[in-house]
Amino acid sequence: MSRDDARVDTGPSSGLEPSALAGRRAVVMGLGRFGGGVGAVRYLLACGARVVGTDLRSAAELPEALRELDGLDVELILGEHRERDFEEADLVVVNPAVPPSAPLLNRARAAGTRLASEIELFTAAAPCRLVGVTGTQGKSSTTAFTAELLRRTGLDARAGGNLGGSLLGALAELRPAGVVVLELSSYQLEGLGRPVALARPFEAVAVTNVEADHLERHGTLASYAAAKRRILELLDPTHGVAVLPAGPGPCADWDLPAGDAVARAHRTVRFDPNATPDELVVSCAGESSTVPGPAALGLPAFQAANLRAALALCDALGVGRAAVAALGVAPLTAPAHRLERLADLGGASVWDNGVSTTPDSTAAALRSLDAPVVLIAGGRAKNLPTQVLADAARGTVRAAFTFGDAAVAFAELLATGGVATTACPTLEAAVDAAAAALRPGDALLFSPACASFDTHANFRERALAFRAALERARARSEERGGALSSPTDPA
């Protein structure tokens, strides 16, 4: 029997609906560290597919994924990828970290294999209302704020996507009136099909900003922006609303892909990402409302733009006024490692901005602090413009301790801004040196401004390593009789 004869005929559908997956040969490429690959394997098995899970890492490097898959009828190929798996599959579910130009994916395309992603499996089956958020900075916070505010208005809302984990296992719990807010990275958007498989088009999407990042993958800012722009393809062509940043930049000339000019303009909402954060003026149901700024809500100043975008998304879903009223119920909670305040150390505040992998995001964090800063930064530089960091550090950073592949280069960069700098051999050494240099009233800021891949698998692992090193420094200080202030609530 030929391979074409053995394929499952899915008819005119997108081929990714649950009913179309039964009996198909599916390869999940990359079991991942955030749950997406494992979620895809479990979902495909539940739909009746025959599944191969393959990852270049060994079993010893994937203990959590293997625990999740223990006892399931999945063939695991670890430590390698087999060409025949990609050539003989009906479907390959690709980890977003794998570039579309990967040779194995080209072989799969040549063989007529359908390529998809975990996120597109979800959008092809989700029965609920959908909202999407992307951007270089702020997409996780905007996603979290939007879901939290929607819940406060009485809607059944949850967040997912690039935040980590997989929502495929929750599909049975979702209802048509519920809302899922998806954070979508440029990698995830780039990997979507053409057209995208959607059970329901998105009611609203937001782009927080588009600045230079991930150029090692996309090559140019224009290509990166084009990947981000694909979020507009997810919108309902008649009623979907796009929330975009105002002012110059890659998003300035973005237009909706469907509808006449008047309708497209009506369905495009522009928010000012640079207005004063002391109080926010937002539009709800066509009327302007003034709401408290980030500080009144327990958030750093840089979250003002993200809060504006979240409120605009709520308004697009018809609950803008209720969301504004809900702001005063309780402080909003940002995701971890986003300028998150930890317990003070020796009279100095401590801030974990471990999500930062670019110089401009660390510069934004520096502008949010009003105390002399002791900065810990470093990792693997992304070949992005760095002068913005040197400028932000001038007069703000009292001392800096750098680490990783970029330790020397970043020490030299910060020194041009008049900062006393020390290049350290490791993150742990940088934390120790920074803790020893602290004075009461300082702000200790961990904001790497670089990728993590020289020493850690992702920014979360690196941020947790920072916290572990910090606790060891704290314990040593206590042993020496150092005075520590009481922990504060996280910001």
Interval 300-356: pLDDT, tens: 888 889 999 999 999 999 999 999 889 877 888 889 999 999 999 999 999 999 999
- Rounded mean pLDDT of 415-419? 94
Q: How far apart, in whole angstroms, are the C-alpha atoms of residue 122 and residue 338?
A: 27
pLDDT interval class at 11 (50, 70, 90)? very low
pLDDT of residue 258: 66
Which residues contact residue 111 at a Cβ distance below 8 angstroms, ignoring those fewer than 6 apart? 3, 86, 87, 88
More confident position, 478 or 86: 86
- The band of 2, judged by pLDDT with boundaries at 50, 70 and 90, is very low
Q: How far apart are the first and last CA of the chain?
A: 62
Confirm if 339 and 368 have CB atoms less than 8 A apart: yes
Q: Average pLDDT in the 41-47 region?
A: 98
Band the pLDDT of 209: cuts 50, 70, 90.
very high
pLDDT tens column, 362-384: 999 999 999 999 999 999 999 89
Contacts (Cβ under 8 Å, ≥6 apart) of 29: 37, 54, 55, 81, 86, 92, 93, 94, 95, 98, 104
In the prediction, which pLDDT does 92 show? 98
Banded model confidence at residue 278, pLDDT cuts 50, 70, 90? low
Paired strand residues for 76: 53
Phi then psi dihedrals of residue 478, to 5 deg: -65, -40
Give the highest mean pLDDT range of 2-16, 56-70, 262-276. 56-70
pLDDT score of 7 = 35
pTM of the shown model: 0.87
Report the length, in residues, of the chain.
491
pLDDT band at 101 (very low <50, low <70, confident <90, very high): very high
For residue 218, pLDDT over 60 is answered with yes
pLDDT beyond 70 at 52: yes
Tell me which long-range contacts 67-71 makes (C-beta under 8 A, separation of at least 24): 68/35, 68/38, 68/42, 69/31, 69/38, 69/41, 69/42
**Please, which pLDDT band fits residue 154 given cuts at 50, 70 and 90?**
very high
Distances from the Cα of 384 to the Cαs of 368, 387, 417, in angstroms? Answer: 22, 9, 18
Q: Percent of the chain scored above 90 by pLDDT?
A: 74
What integer pLDDT is reported at residue 482 of this predicted model? 56
18-29 pLDDT tens trace: 999 999 999 999
pLDDT at 110: 97
Amino acid, res. 230: R
The 10s digit of each residue's pLDDT in 441-468 is: 999 999 999 999 999 989 999 999 999 9
Closest to 232 measured CA to CA, from 192, 252, 204, 190 = 204
Mean pLDDT of the chain: 90
Per-residue pLDDT at 263: 65
8 Å CB contact between 153 and 115: no
**Residue 268 contacts residue 204 (beta carbons within 8 Å):** no
d(CA 92, CA 54): 10
Which residue matches tokens 């579910």?
93
**What sign for the dihedral angle of Cα 332, 338, 339, 345?**
positive
